[in-house]
Structure 1
Amino acid sequence: MTMASPRPASTSARPSPSRSLVELTALLGFMMSLSAFSTDGMLPALHDLAVFFGVSDTQAQLVVNLYFFGFAVGQLFFGPLSDRFGRRRVLLVSTSGFLTCALALVVAPTFTVVLTVRFIQGLFGAALRSVGTALVRDFYRGEAMARVLSFALMVLLIAPVFAPSIGVFLLRWGWRAPFSLIAVLAGLLLAWLTARLPESLPPERRRPLSFTQLAAAARLVLNTPPSLALTAVMGCSYGILYAYLTSAAQLYREHFQFSNTAFALAFAGTGLGQVCGTFLNGLAITRLGLRRVLPWAVGGVAVAAAGLLVAGLLGAQPVVYWFLLTLVFFGIALVFSNANSAALEPLGEIAGFASSVIGFTSTVMANLFGLVIGQAAQGGPRGFALGIMLLALGSLASLLVAQRAGWGRERTHAAAASPARGD
């Protein structure tokens, strides 16, 4: 049984048979979790990788940063490419590229090669998420689409809970073992896509390859102050996440003297806090609305970050530091999707292209922030907490700018003036 049959754009898509829906949901969850695992699963290996190549643990953080830079750039290109050439072809090519990079990392002879390949792998990793989401939009609408994306997001959030533990287990075979597992998973995904994925975008619905609309979307974002400020909120908030991902191994293992197992448990606990925040966000949005939840979430992150900074300055016990850091990520989960929705709110009919621009801009901002904090703090609890506090304040200040520019009212000035608005 195939997963679903593509329907013409003029026909309302209805949910496919249950087996097809389950398979497509599982496939999308696998794609998203593979991208997440390629970062979280290899964090425990950073120290051993640094020792092997004779670099510092701080330099080893670049293995994470370069992946995210590639991921940011990939978001701009793979969506338009899949609109022109179809989802299946682009997914097969990008998954093959991802697999090739994973194999190259297993045999990489120098640290420079590792960094170069990680950047390219990030490019292909962006396609797994962006094109996968577009594929679901082709097959399903309404509640069926929401169920698929919700489950996939759940898998994406749960992956960081277990990935470091798997990475720790694999370390007994050396730092290359986690990268080998990534290659195995990429191979399984490629086989699954090849055997079971039909094309969801027929030729008559494809669009010419043109980046002029992407440039127009970028200009519109720049000329829409609330969206621009809310993109900065996303950049600062994601920056906290990226700073944590690059610094976590060095913070817990070098400065707090955690064992590999303790590091995996601490990382998993913080991930669970983020999962809980995501579930709470769904309830809060339903009851209170976006315009109430987002300011409280951003303010809550700033308060938790202030507590983290105090704990770092006073040399608090690691468990206290960990608890406050988990509170930060509980709040961050309430910011991510809400800030993204708010940023797209005034941008009308070009929301798809605007989403690529906002995703690229916020990811580049976040990675730069994470890179600076990781390299400057060198995993130290005080420097790391100070960086988190500055990003929390940046997010709060950006939200205040968005509110002064009109966000939070029933209709923003930018939305009323924008010719691209599709009411």
Structure 2
Amino acid sequence: MSDQPAGDKGRVGPGFAETVSLLALLTSLVALSIDAMLPALQEIGQDLGTKDPNDNQLIVIVLFLGMAIGQILYGPLSDSFGRKRPIYAGLGIFMLGSLLSFISWDFQSMLLGRFLQGLGAAGPRIVAIALVRDQYEGRAMARLMSFVMAVFILVPAIAPALGQGILLFADWRAIFLSFVCLAMVVTVWFFLRQDETLAQDKRLPFSLSHLVAGLRDCLSNRVAVGYILAAGFVFGAFIGYLSTAQQIFQQQYELGEKFPLFFAVLALAIGAASLVNARLVMKLGMRYLSMRAVISMIVLSTAFTVYAALHGDTPPLWIYMLFFSVVFFCIGLLFGNFNALAMEPLGHIAGLASAVIGSLTTFISLGLGMVIGQAYDGTVVPLVAGFAILSCAALAAMVWADRTASR
């Protein structure tokens, strides 16, 4: 395969470094929107009149809901209308949601704004990957995507620090204004430097029946369903962590403005695991690594739940950090492998299946993550117990899927 772009070879477009930067920004809007807000959740809830501190978690949860709906729509739309228009639409919806959150007058208007942010940010994240496939192939595509993912991994580590930095000079509304400014810069940059990459003769007519058929194919394949469930269970535990991270770090452990530092350490554990997985998966296989990662999570989470319950429900911070560093390393091994295992039997509808799998996984995880978050009672026990229970559920789903595959 050629290492040259697969698109218009006569056009002088953005160079490699510029392409990486542009695509990394497009795909990182979701992570930035989630994590940069975490230091401000308590302040937002107080200003908008929430009665229960756990209600502030909905500011995170609702964004995932918008993203879940958006994932299943943007892929088919980009196959029908080209890559650029869905990205523009997503960026526009994202800016509208950011503006609504910026001017929000009550908690309901904030949640609507966050939903629109998630719905909009899903577009650039999903379609940017297709845009890369249009332009590059072979080793060039692999090289470019590796750099994009390296930047993507760093965003969750630095986003809370960015949010905390803004709070040092302004109130929480300035964070949403920064989202609008960033999206405007990306939109103009994308408009000026990126051409359409999907030729007119390669576009497919948009069909709701095609979307329904793809959903039916996914749900009728037991291997795909098993790993969608497993991914949903594990990601549900992770959403439970995201929902309660601000309360646990800033209130329970009283870390205050140091919260972003500790959050970054745990985020980097996931990134490190992704790099390790890339090296080990070819030698050991996706199922081998995934099974051992899930079993490790079960053992660690069960033991830590008992330890926390017996030691005043608030274990020493260093033990809490050590536990989650190892657990998040396991999660980093699982994210890519679960998605690939679910996709394995669906190669005939790969593009649509990717959107369906991502959407279904997010929908499953939303409800579970909300249950864990709303169970927060000032201790770490509900969160850690949630990891133990959902890891067991993920293991059961994997065993069921693998037994089906071996028949």
| TM-score normalised over the length of structure 1 | 0.90
Alignment match, 2:379: 380
Q: Which amino acid aligns with 1:24?
A: T
Is residue 303 of structure 1 aligned with residue 302 of structure 2?
Answer: no
Q: Alignment partner of 1:334: what SS?
A: helix
Using the TM superposition, give the Cα deviation of residue 17 of structure 1 relative to its aligned residue in structure 2, in angstroms: 8.1
Q: In 1, Cα distance between the equivalents of 2:289 and 2:12?
A: 36
Residues 13, 193 of structure 2: 8 Å contact kept: no
| 2:341 maps to 1:345 | no
Distance 2:25 2:378 in 1: 31
User: Aligned-pair distance for 1:282?
Assistant: 0.7
- Correspondent of 1:221 among 213, 218, 232: 218
In 2, Cα distance between the equivalents of 1:178 and 1:309? 35
Aligned-residue offset at 1:242: 1.0
Structure 1 distance, partners of 2:109, 2:230, is 34
1:244 is aligned, of 232, 241, 244, to 241
After the TM superposition, which of the residue ranges 251-260 and 304-313 deviates more from structure 2?
Answer: 304-313
Q: CA deviation at 1:211?
A: 2.4
How many Å apart are 1:303 and its aligned residue?
2.2
Q: 2:78·2:127 contact (CA, 8 Å) conserved in 1?
A: yes
Please give the alpha-carbon distance, in whole angstroms, between the structure 2 residues aligned to 1:28 and 1:308.
39
Indicate yes or no: 2:154 matched with 1:158. yes
Point out the more displaced range, 376-385 or 95-104: 376-385
User: How far apart are the structure 2 equivalents of 1:395 and 1:286?
Assistant: 23
1:129 corresponds to: 125
Equivalent residue, structure 2, for 1:42? 37
- Alpha carbons 1:82, 1:90 under 8 Å: kept: yes
1:77 aligns with 2:73: yes
Q: Does the CA contact (< 8 Å) of 1:158 and 1:272 recur in 2?
A: yes
> d(CA) in 2 for partners of 1:380 and 1:365?
25
What does residue 179 of structure 2 align with? Answer: 182
Compared with structure 1, are the counterparts of its residues 208 and 342 closer, same or farther at alpha carbon in structure 2 (3 Å cutoff)? same
Instruction: Answer yes or no: is the 8 Å Cα contact 1:6–1:199 preserved in 2.
Output: no
- Name whichever of 169-178 and 298-307 sits farther off: 298-307
Q: Secondary structure at the match of 2:375?
A: helix
Once the two structures are superposed, the pairs formed by residues 154-303 of structure 1 within 5 Å of their partners are 154-172=150-168, 173-261=170-258, 263-303=259-299
Equivalent residue of 1:377, what SS?
Answer: coil
Label 1:66 to 1:208 Cα distance change in 2 as closer, same or farther (>3 A). same
Query: Which residue number corresponds to residue 324 of structure 1?
Result: 323
Q: Is 1:103 equivalent to 2:99 in the alignment? A: yes
Distance 1:208 1:312, change over 3 A: same
**Equivalent residue letter for 1:259:** G
Distance 1:138 1:116, change over 3 A: same
- CA RMSD of the aligned region, Å? 1.9
1:357 equivalent to 2:353? Answer: no
* 1:33 equivalent in alignment to 2:34: no
**3-state SS, counterpart of residue 254 of structure 2:** coil
Whole-Å Cα distance in 1 between the matches of residues 385 and 196 of structure 2? 48
Superimposed CA distance per residue, residues 16-74 of structure 1 (whole angstroms, 9 cap, x where no aligned partner): 98953322221111112222111100100000001111213211110110000000000
**What is the alpha-carbon distance in structure 1 between the residues aligned to residue 136 and residue 6 of structure 2?**
10
Which of 56, 70, 82 is the aligned partner of 1:86? 82
Q: Distance in 2 between matches of 1:394 and 1:181?
A: 39
Gaps of 5+ in 1: 8-13, 414-423
CA deviation string 1:231-256 (max 9, x = no partner): 11110111122111111001112222
Deviation at residue 4 of structure 1 after TM alignment: 6.0
For residues 243 and 381 of structure 2, what CA distance do their matches in structure 1 show? 16
Aligned to 2:369: 370
Amino acid at match of 2:336: S
| Alpha-carbon distance in 1 for matches of 2:319, 2:135 | 47
Q: Secondary structure at the match of 2:255?
A: coil
CA distance in 1, matches of 2:82, 2:165: 39
How big is the shift at 1:134?
A: 0.8
- Residues 268-289 of structure 1: per-residue CA shift (max 9 Å, x gap): 1101111111111011112212
Contact 2:95 / 2:183 at 8 angstroms: preserved in 1? Answer: yes
Distance in 1 (CA, whole Å) between partners of 2:118 and 2:181 is 17
Runs of at least 5 residues in structure 2 that lack an aligned partner in the other structure: none
| AA partner of residue 238 (structure 1) | F
Q: Which of residues 135, 140, 144 in structure 1 aligns to 2:136?
A: 140
Structure 1: distance between partners of 2:299 and 2:149: 27
Q: Give the Cα–Cα distance (whole angstroms) in 2 for the partners of residues 363 and 220 of structure 1.
A: 18
Matched residue SS, 2:15: helix
Q: Is the 8 A contact 2:89 2:123 kept in 1?
A: no
